[in-house]
Amino acid sequence: MRNVILWATVFTFLSNAGFGQNRLKFRSTEWVGLSTGAAGNAGQVQSVNGVSMGPWFAGVGAGLDYYRFRSVPLFLSVTRDIQLGKKDWLFLYLDGGTNLPWYKRPETPEPAYTGDAFHGGEYWSGGLGYLWKLGDHSRKEVLFSAGYTVKKLSEDQSYQCPPGDFCPLIVSQTTAYEYLNRMYQFMIGFRF
């Protein structure tokens, strides 16, 4: 509890500290988008929340990605904005974190395995985007981005000879799959 109070105090101090244009500000970006790769197209949503200082933004993100297997990326995000005009900007972003599975294989009448479990893996994403400020002094912005994402998952399909069955050769077997998914990511977002 003491740590929470300490961090809250530090955050409040930094957020309100006078750094001119570079003072820390809380920002939140909500994304919807499309992942496209060898496994086809899939939707995704993300929410990234953190602080910005000048052209830099750093935050923590969480999402829902339906590419190949539904998963929940949890990541740290860093963004660098690059001003083009009064209201229009470019930005570069880099995300890195972990990709947690949220997927269960559909039941089949005669499954080739008796146990199935997905496990998490790395999550990386990077790209560039275009940012449009909605007003001269507004903190509300619309964002478009194109990027490249790598998400990893692993799966263990275990087979145990079921009671009542005779499995003459193999009593138990685990087949491990490592999935390296690589896809383009196109998103539209709203930052405030």
Point out which residues bind other proteins (CB under 8 A).
36-40, 68, 82, 90, 92, 105, 108-113, 126-128, 146-148, 155, 157, 159, 161-184
Residue whose CB is less far from other proteins, 47 or 157: 157
**171 Cβ neighbours under 8 A, 6+ residues apart:** 160, 161
Minimum Å gap between C-beta 190 and other proteins is: 22
Residue whose CB is less far from other proteins, 18 or 109: 109
Distance in angstroms (rounded) separating the CA atoms of residues 29 and 143 = 9
Distance in angstroms (rounded) separating the CA atoms of residues 41 and 33 = 10
What does the CA dihedral 105, 106, 109, 113 come to, rounded to 10 degrees?
0
Residue whose CB is less far from other proteins, 135 or 166: 166
Minimum Å gap between C-beta 53 and other proteins is: 17
Type of residue found at 163? P
Minimum Å gap between C-beta 83 and other proteins is: 9
Distance in angstroms (rounded) separating the CA atoms of residues 9 and 26 = 15
Residue whose CB is less far from other proteins, 66 or 113: 113
Minimum Å gap between C-beta 134 and other proteins is: 23
